[in-house]
Structure 1
Amino acid sequence: MTNTLNVLIAEDEPLIISIVTRALHEISRYYKIRHCNIKSVTDYDATLREINEAFNTSPFDLIVLDTNVNVSNDELLDCCKNISAGLKTNFPDTKVIVLTSCSNNYKIHNILKSLNPDGLLIRSDIDFDELLKALSSVLNNAPYYSRAILKLIRLHISNDFSLDHIDRQLLYQLSIGTTMKYLPKVIPLSKSAIELRKRNLKALFLVEKESDRSLVLKAEQHGFI
């Protein structure tokens, strides 16, 4: 580690900002980091602004990002993509730890794919010691995932098949009760193409003659929802 650590915390809860800051100062003392410069922002626009502005000043060594900083669930994936694009353009070496309240495997998968974070922790898994482990691991170039994330990854590794983004989106929409009438409004396919996708998914999960609910339950068991 270097003698200076520049950190951005993107989080809208003051308590979490305080806990992360305390953990960073403890890590700094342990590794004898002389300067720990910490900035905190509370919304998505400010996060992007800090990332872009830092390109002309001092690059961030670490960003601790709450994926829900003042953004709706519907906008979450687009925001993750925008943040990821900004980081890859300006700071390809920046480490990213993502904090999320999402417990839905579909959304967690999208976060992993969109941001490819060095660390990913679900809030319900986090305590102070866990946060210290995550920070230490990531700053030493080793990825860190909390228990729920590791469980999801193991589920996916154990599966002998994979699904594309449209398949995952269709399963997610079925799981929240979206009807066939409205599916073409949220999935970029025609109704007949969606029906074909659904039939293929039922065949894949061995529930060809069963209900959509049976398909959803099978997908949940395999960690896709």
Structure 2
Amino acid sequence: MITSNVFLVDDHPMTVDSYRSLISQIKTKATDDNFVTAFSCEQAYNRIIEKHNDQENFDVALVDISLPAYPAKNLLTGIDVAKLIRNYFPACKIILLTMHSEPAIVTTAKHEVNPEGFILKSDIDATSFVTAYQSITLGATFYSDTISKTQNNTIIKKLNFDAIDLQILVLIDKKIKTKDMPNHIDLSLSAIEKRKACIKNTLLKEKSSNKELIVEAKKLRLT
């Protein structure tokens, strides 16, 4: 019998139990699912390191984007956790789940993780979750309807923002200081500062605070 290691990361234990129950219903006689769970970025980090140290792999990971942060390891959201999973377990099929469809979050997740599955929780029910999970484990890519539509957001195209610009907006919204952003983005501090200035100029056309910038971004439903 083949054992599939499934990593479930969500800050709601009942949601984790639901995933476990649904996935357990679709296993075959030839496979057996071994579930590992985490309810925060810190717990997820510890599970990842433990699995890596044991020289084992995760085959599938379901990760909620909204998780309690672990600043000590620069893990602010499930996106950061998914990046860590991708780094340690390249063959793992990652499914991101979220209640948020704001373009900055969706674009950042796609750019940083490129998950095999990306699902807005309100887009699916138990039946469609099972169908999506099965198709992903068989090698397909599944993005739920709202996530797919968000990627074609016309506002972003009109503003001419790229994935890094939107990632900077997400970090500002998380109250990450500019000097600390190179810990999260593979750019120099000066390059980030230039991009941030351009973002402010594009959205507000005048000198503004981070708070005012995020207020405007939320008005446009970017974050």
TM-score calculated relative to the size of structure 2: 0.70
Checking the alignment, whether the CA contact within 8 Å between 2:65 and 2:79 is kept in structure 1 is no
Residue 101 (structure 1) aligned with residue 105 (structure 2):
no
Q: For 1:14-29, what aligned pairs fall within 5 Å after superposition? A: 14-29=13-28
Q: What's the CA shift for 1:171? A: 6.6
Q: Identity, % of aligned pairs?
A: 22
Taking the aligned partners of 1:76 and 1:109, their CA distance within structure 2 comes to 20
Q: What's the CA shift for 1:107? A: 1.4
Residue 126 (structure 1) aligned with residue 124 (structure 2):
yes
Alignment match, 2:51? 54
The 3 A distance-change label for structure 1 pair 186 and 165 is farther
Q: What's the CA shift for 1:219? A: 5.8
Deviation per residue, 1:133-162 (Å, 9 max, x gap): 221111011111111101112337x95884
Checking the alignment, whether the CA contact within 8 Å between 1:67 and 1:98 is kept in structure 2 is yes
Taking the aligned partners of 2:194 and 2:143, their CA distance within structure 1 comes to 39
Paired residue for 1:142, among 137, 140, 143? Answer: 140
RMSD: 4.1
Structure 1, unaligned runs of 5 or more: 204-211
Taking the aligned partners of 1:173 and 1:37, their CA distance within structure 2 comes to 34
Tell me the secondary structure at the aligned position of residue 61 of structure 2.
strand
The 3 A distance-change label for structure 1 pair 120 and 132 is same
Paired residue for 1:67, among 56, 65, 68? Answer: 65
The 3 A distance-change label for structure 1 pair 195 and 4 is closer
Alignment match, 1:116? 114
Residue 41 (structure 1) aligned with residue 38 (structure 2):
yes
Deviation per residue, 1:99-123 (Å, 9 max, x gap): 1122321112112222221111112
Checking the alignment, whether the CA contact within 8 Å between 2:7 and 2:35 is kept in structure 1 is yes
Tell me the secondary structure at the aligned position of residue 7 of structure 1.
strand
Aligned residues: 205
Structure 2, unaligned runs of 5 or more: 182-188, 206-212
Checking the alignment, whether the CA contact within 8 Å between 1:80 and 1:111 is kept in structure 2 is no
TM-score calculated relative to the size of structure 1: 0.69
Taking the aligned partners of 1:144 and 1:86, their CA distance within structure 2 comes to 21
Taking the aligned partners of 1:44 and 1:217, their CA distance within structure 2 comes to 25
Taking the aligned partners of 2:2 and 2:12, their CA distance within structure 1 comes to 29
Checking the alignment, whether the CA contact within 8 Å between 2:165 and 2:195 is kept in structure 1 is no
Deviation per residue, 1:149-205 (Å, 9 max, x gap): 01112337x95884235643677799x8x9xxxx978986799985655445689xx
